[in-house]
Amino acid sequence: MTTPLLTGNPARRPRARSGWRLAAALVLLAAVPLIAGTLRLLQLAGGPELIPADHRFDTVPIPVAAHITGSVVYALAGALQFVPRFRRSHPRWHRRTGRLLVAAGLVVATSALWMTLTYPTKPGTGDLLFASRLVAGTAMTACLVLGFTAARRRAFTSHRAWMIRAYALALAAGTQAFTEGIGGAVFGHSVLVADLSKAAAWVINLAVAEWAIHRQKPTTALRP
């Protein structure tokens, strides 16, 4: 990803600290689905039933296991990519982890599509959520491929933008914890409200991602 060049100017130091705060906030946003997913993995492995069982996964657990494992790697390691100072201090780590993140992200996106297309529809969800998941999974896959190819071309501004979009789509699972609660409280509980509330999370995250991408000042020097 491209990063702003920092100098010894003290005015720029708060910006470096804000990178760590952003990474921490992203991890916190991902915490709810990651914890739930980890408990689901333990349950599928024969552990205690700490969350409500979902018997859709019992027969073919591979896609959900791949999705959860990939999500843990992608969410936690991906958050560090938003710390400019860390990227500059460890450029080799950034490149190697970037390749790992593309692979993990593709596992997340393709396993999400796999689950959407093969598992029975979860009770309380409808066609709108089904279509939204297909769009989000396909879009995330495209963003990762475009981000990787941009890095190969050394088009780092484009690389940064596509990777931010991919991460935003993946982190919608965390945002859904808020949109579902707000949607239910304001509009009541129905299949349509539940579907719209979940779909809203992808829209919100992409809107924030676009704001983050375009807020970069044109006069700021950039480097990979």
Residues 41 and 20: beta-carbon distance below 8 Å: no
* Inter-CA distances, 208 with 49, 108, 164, 203, Å: 36, 21, 10, 9
Compute the distance between CA of residue 120 and CA of residue 84 in angstroms, rounded to an integer: 42
**What's the pLDDT score for residue 97?**
87
Residue ranges covered by each domain of the chain: 3-223
**Alpha-carbon distance 116 to 176, whole Å?**
17
pLDDT beneath 50: ranges in the chain: 1-8, 10-11, 218-224
pLDDT of residue 34: 94
Mean pLDDT, rounded, of the chain:
87
- For 147, the token pair is 């981000």
Burial category of 30 from C-beta neighbours within 10 Å (exposed 0-12, middle 13-18, buried 19 and up) = buried
CA distance 147 to 153: 10
Among 216, 158, 139, CA closest to 1 = 158
Q: Concatenate the DSSP letters of all residues of 65-106 into one string.
A: HHHHHHHHHHHHHHHHTT-HHHHHH-HHHHHHHHHHHHHHHH
| Contact between 119 and 53 (Cβ < 8 Å) | no
Whole-angstrom distance, CA of residue 155 vs CA of residue 221: 14
pLDDT at site 3: 42
CA triple 128-75-144, angle to 5 deg = 70
Q: What was the pLDDT predicted at 2?
A: 44
In whole angstroms, give the CA distance from residue 66 to residue 12: 40
Which of 18, 26, 78 lies closest to 215, judged by CA? Answer: 18
Tell me the per-residue pLDDT of 43-77, one tens digit each, with 9 for 90 and over. Answer: 988 888 888 888 888 888 999 999 999 999 999 99
State how beta strands 3-4 and 222-223 pair: antiparallel
Rounded to two decimals, the pTM is: 0.85
- What pLDDT does 47 receive? 84
